[in-house]
Structure 1
């Protein structure tokens, strides 16, 4: 039995996670993400897939974020018809995220044509809502800690990774004629002290390890993130402004709601209105009620007075008209809207409206990939390009990295301590080049591990004749 890996994405970048595992003539795609950020990366979404989609036998998802699942509709459109395996919460999240992504792409293509700022005469979406829904019949659920035989000789087991609801790290047990080998994909690892999600499970061994490195060269704030959030909200309130928080609908919005609820209940910030302006975030929040065993909030969600997702200052806005009405709010409010990197979605019209106002504050609460609007604003750009216009940046720009759903360098190193035997080979994936290289160096120096930072489309022979 021969085992190979080809890096179709997530190599020296934090987007487009796609890892093609070939076991003899069987092809398994681990994650199927969309590229985001830099234009040169986004263009890859439009390229033909490196192998015919019909040749892929299975897709296994670590979690639902678009950079891990967002390419599924295009791959199905190109001919993939096998099973897509993931945990039950991930499946429900994928349905929400893909429909939303299809809708946004249709709207953006229509808007680009209407305003005439596309170089194409008739700009087309990468995929549509209808394309997204064609993914659903292929989805199949697995549970944490239970072996799932893909074939008699290939067994996959999902374990809790933290990060977001239902996120998994994956162990592949490959039974050859002579030997048995284990491959582990970390997926995106969560935090060790997340108030909502359990910490990532540590595994004792792997022959080959694929570990994310998003924060491989950085540490999160040592200060409590809710204290920093409190300070920024108070400062904005004293100026009479609106605090706009671009936040990922999955995970980050729910964590923010938890912290804001705690701060208001303890009278550490004013009881001003909190508007969640993201239909997707609203749908996602309901899933926490549906899957209580996948997080820590079960008892709190059963009590109205203790439920961080349902209280007197919290308002959910579903319709487009309601969203636009928030442009009339002049102060003393918090708006949470997607997307988290300001690459699309409703947050764009809020930024368009808020950036020129020096009383308002924009608070980024997660990783901002290179090339995204969020990254450019944090880097100090004085204008922000939206809807074909350059919008002046006069609002205060803030960043709270302690709210990240990704393990930082120390937490990644802590997770690797769980291995009682060092892997024969460790690949550093899902991180920008400098982050991957630094974590690779640290693992080599501190653990004595054999590490590799792969290139895009690079292939490796992992095992021969096992």
Structure 2
């Protein structure tokens, strides 16, 4: 088999990372994520894979986020039975995320069928819990920096990339060539994560480009969050609702808010973590101190500073509260989760504040709200957007253009070819111009389904 790489997802878009390596002995899939955002992308989650999944010999997972791991149960259901390699924290977080998604899909389909707000009759989940259980049996934890054989003389290893707990970039070696997959590249001065490890060699490089067209503002994140909290709960006297990713961003916010509260920089109002998955992810965070920056005392402070909500009946009670409070709830892009209950109650309230703190993909409710939509659909009905909308930019877990280029300076020589993925077209195009102009490297911005030979 001639060696090649095909891009089944996250090509000219951000979500659905699925990169298929055709090596001398078979296929290896790097990441297997769900598409999110625009309807035409989400519909791809219902399609079959481009090849028979039984022909894929292994999956290598860069991290646990749904857009990188969420399609593993689909792959298993369609016949894949090979190993899924991941770091130990990623293995635990992936189990958490996949089980949560399957449960939410089941709940949503039942609710949609009961209330009749789905266009499908009947509404069916993308996959079921038995598919998740099958996929999870295939996960094989692998330590950082250890070369692992994947057959036919090919091997790979993980190295820290600083995005979330357990995330890594992947180096695959085959026939003397090294193919590097950046995964979601973190930042050198992250609040909680250790910085990305140095890269020295890449004959071919698959590089993310989420923020390839910008440099993050150099704002004091703690001070900016303090400003938003004071304005929301003291001046506006309403709730502050923070849609959040359960893994990574929720822990950032917990730490910052607990620190501000301990230093008496913000009023003593209830701080809720209304996300069972974020609560469980925090337990996993505490199990792996070598993967993050926080000493035990600060982890303890982070956990003591918030009230954790598990029972949905408690969610309903808190969501109807009209007094000042701070709520961290999933999902981060308002695609689902308990944050919908809070927004359905408060988005039309001029006293309420909604604070976004992470990337909002095109077509998501979060992006619509952030872009100024006058109303959005929540739980089957349209809700007017009258709340104050804020955006905390400094917490991004993705490297910006300057940080990406800085990381790439570790390469001893130029790659034969760079493939820019995981970015909207304008972001990938801007990073491509910088790489071609400043570095003189050959760069491609693949389209979905495009295949490139590895000469």
For Structure 1 versus Structure 2, the TM-score category normalised by the shorter chain is over 0.9
Q: Are 1:102 and 1:128, in contact at CA under 8 Å, matched by a contact in 2? A: yes
In structure 1, the residue matched to 2:59 is 59
Residues 271-302 of structure 1, C-alpha deviations (whole Å, 9 max, x = no match): 22110000000000001121111111143257
Write out aligned runs for 1:79-90 (5 A).
Answer: 79-90=79-90
Q: Which of 173, 178, 196 is 1:182 aligned to?
A: 178
How far the C-alpha of 1:2 sits from its partner, in A, is: 3.1
What stretches of structure 1 of length at least 5 have no aligned partner? none
Deviates more, 1:320-329 or 1:370-379: 320-329
SS at match of 1:163: coil
Write out aligned runs for 1:156-305 (5 A).
Answer: 156-174=156-174, 176=175, 180-237=176-233, 238-300=235-297, 304=300
Q: Using the alignment, how far apart are the partners of 1:157 and 1:425 within structure 2?
A: 20
Q: Are 1:289 and 1:301, in contact at CA under 8 Å, matched by a contact in 2? A: no
- Work out whether 1:351 is the aligned partner of 2:348: no
In structure 1, the residue matched to 2:304 is 310
Q: Which of 370, 375, 379 is 1:378 aligned to?
A: 370
In structure 1, the residue matched to 2:140 is 140
How far the C-alpha of 1:51 sits from its partner, in A, is: 0.7
What stretches of structure 2 of length at least 5 have no aligned partner? none
Residues 211-253 of structure 1, C-alpha deviations (whole Å, 9 max, x = no match): 1000011222211122211111110012111100000000000
Q: Are 2:320 and 2:345, in contact at CA under 8 Å, matched by a contact in 1? A: no
How far the C-alpha of 1:331 sits from its partner, in A, is: 2.2
Q: Using the alignment, how far apart are the partners of 2:184 and 2:119 within structure 1?
A: 36
Residues 160-196 of structure 1, C-alpha deviations (whole Å, 9 max, x = no match): 011100001000111x3xxx11110000011111121
Q: Are 2:24 and 2:152, in contact at CA under 8 Å, matched by a contact in 1? A: no
How far the C-alpha of 1:440 sits from its partner, in A, is: 0.7
In structure 2, the residue matched to 1:435 is 427
Q: Are 2:238 and 2:351, in contact at CA under 8 Å, matched by a contact in 1? A: yes
SS at match of 1:57: strand
Runs of 4+ in structure 1 off by over 4 angstroms are none
Q: Are 1:100 and 1:129, in contact at CA under 8 Å, matched by a contact in 2? A: no
In structure 2, the residue matched to 1:37 is 37
How far the C-alpha of 1:263 sits from its partner, in A, is: 1.3
SS at match of 2:317: helix
SS at match of 1:201: coil
Q: Are 2:59 and 2:85, in contact at CA under 8 Å, matched by a contact in 1? A: yes
Q: Using the alignment, how far apart are the partners of 2:77 and 2:303 within structure 1?
A: 37
- Work out whether 1:451 is the aligned partner of 2:440: no
Q: Using the alignment, how far apart are the partners of 1:54 and 1:430 within structure 2?
A: 26
How far the C-alpha of 1:427 sits from its partner, in A, is: 0.5
Q: TM-score, normalised by structure 1?
A: 0.96
Q: Using the alignment, how far apart are the partners of 1:219 and 1:247 within structure 2?
A: 22
Q: Using the alignment, how far apart are the partners of 1:349 and 1:199 within structure 2?
A: 36
Q: Are 1:161 and 1:199, in contact at CA under 8 Å, matched by a contact in 2? A: yes
Q: Are 2:421 and 2:428, in contact at CA under 8 Å, matched by a contact in 1? A: yes
Residues 92-137 of structure 1, C-alpha deviations (whole Å, 9 max, x = no match): 0000000000011111111111111222221110112222122111
Q: Using the alignment, how far apart are the partners of 1:365 and 1:25 within structure 2?
A: 43
In structure 2, the residue matched to 1:324 is 316
Deviates more, 1:453-462 or 1:409-418: 409-418
How far the C-alpha of 1:332 sits from its partner, in A, is: 2.1
In structure 2, the residue matched to 1:103 is 103
- Work out whether 1:120 is the aligned partner of 2:116: no
Q: Are 1:289 and 1:298, in contact at CA under 8 Å, matched by a contact in 2? A: no
**Equivalent pairs, count:** 454
SS at match of 1:245: strand
Write out aligned runs for 1:405-416 (5 A).
Answer: 405-416=397-408
Q: Using the alignment, how far apart are the partners of 1:156 and 1:39 within structure 2?
A: 35
Q: Are 1:63 and 1:187, in contact at CA under 8 Å, matched by a contact in 2? A: yes
